[in-house]
């Protein structure tokens, strides 16, 4: 069974050369479920293809889009509660199998026992809409009276890069996600100086075009794990290991 690409390109080779994001759709004769992903990267072609192929194998004929247009979308991956104020139907889980928790990471030898010690220090954060990358860690600093100056903030493209700045002594602390960073703490001599509450707002939300046809897609997404296909997960934050219904976690 073939796949069509929603990109004005004449061949498979042209698709790879086309600068627009690639949406993988089912054949026109089949009803499709439109999924929208707020991606952390502009390089989406491979992930879109692999995700679409996986979903089709699970009985979900899906078209993958990378935009914020809510019109025909049945399911959308977002970072915060949407306008309808309904909770995510599937929330992202971390490497440890739990809901993600924002964290500030420091070097064990730096002598930073509390967030209040970060006043006037250089800090590494992560750009983008993921609340764990900047918003929640910043709020934790403000809660203890720490207000970093703009020139003290080093904004990275992802969580690994933020940790890299810390490990190379470019900053005194870096943001991360508690489950994700756990794998590096002992080997890199790092500690979690602050850890926030679990976050369930990052995940899949039902859009205006949702119907019972999308249930198969929800079930398939709930079975996904990063370890099974890392390329498929390239469009999600590094800490996202899978997705689960809130009642299942």
pLDDT (average), residues 12-30: 43
Compute CA distances 148 → 18, 122, 140, 181, 190, whole Å. Answer: 41, 8, 12, 23, 22
Look up the pTM and report it. Answer: 0.85
Average pLDDT for 5-32: 44
- Tell me the per-residue pLDDT of 92-112, one tens digit each, with 9 for 90 and over: 999 999 999 999 999 999 989
Question: Which tens digits make up the pLDDT trace of 34-93?
Answer: 999 999 999 999 999 999 999 999 999 999 999 777 678 999 999 998 776 789 999 999
27 burial type by CB count under 10 A (0-12 exposed, 13-18 middle, 19+ buried)? exposed
Q: How far apart are the first and last CA of the chain?
A: 35
Strand 242-244 relative to strand 173-177: parallel, antiparallel, unpaired?
A: unpaired
Question: What domains lie within the chain, and their CATH numbers?
Answer: 4-95+200-244 (3.40.190), 102-195 (3.40.190.10)
């Amino acid at each position: 069974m073939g796949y069509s690409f929603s990109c004005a390109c004449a061949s498979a080779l042209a698709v790879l050369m086309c600068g627009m994001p690639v949406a993988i759709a089912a054949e026109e004769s089949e009803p499709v479920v439109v999924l929208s992903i707020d991606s952390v990267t502009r390089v989406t072609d491979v992930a879109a293809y692999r995700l679409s192929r996986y979903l089709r194998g699970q009985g979900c004929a899906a078209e993958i889009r990378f935009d914020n247009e809510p019109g025909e979308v049945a399911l959308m991956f977002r970072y915060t509660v949407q306008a309808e104020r309904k909770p995510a139907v599937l929330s992202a889980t971390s490497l440890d199998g739990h809901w993600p928790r924002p964290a500030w990471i420091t070097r064990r030898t730096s002598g930073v026992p509390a967030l209040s010690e970060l006043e006037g220090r250089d800090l590494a954060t992560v750009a983008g809409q993921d609340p764990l990358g900047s918003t929640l860690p910043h709020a934790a600093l403000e809660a203890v009276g720490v207000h970093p100056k703009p020139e003290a903030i080093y904004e990275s493209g992802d969580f690994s890069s933020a940790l890299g700045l810390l490990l190379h002594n470019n900053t005194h602390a870096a943001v991360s996600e508690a489950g994700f960073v756990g794998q590096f703490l002992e080997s890199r001599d790092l500690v979690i100086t602050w850890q926030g509450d679990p976050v369930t707002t990052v995940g899949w939300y039902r859009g205006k075009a949702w119907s019972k046809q999308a249930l198969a897609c929800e079930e398939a997404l709930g079975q996904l794990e990063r370890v099974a296909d890392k390329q498929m997960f390239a469009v999600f934050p590094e800490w996202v290991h899978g997705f689960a219904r809130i009642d299942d976690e």
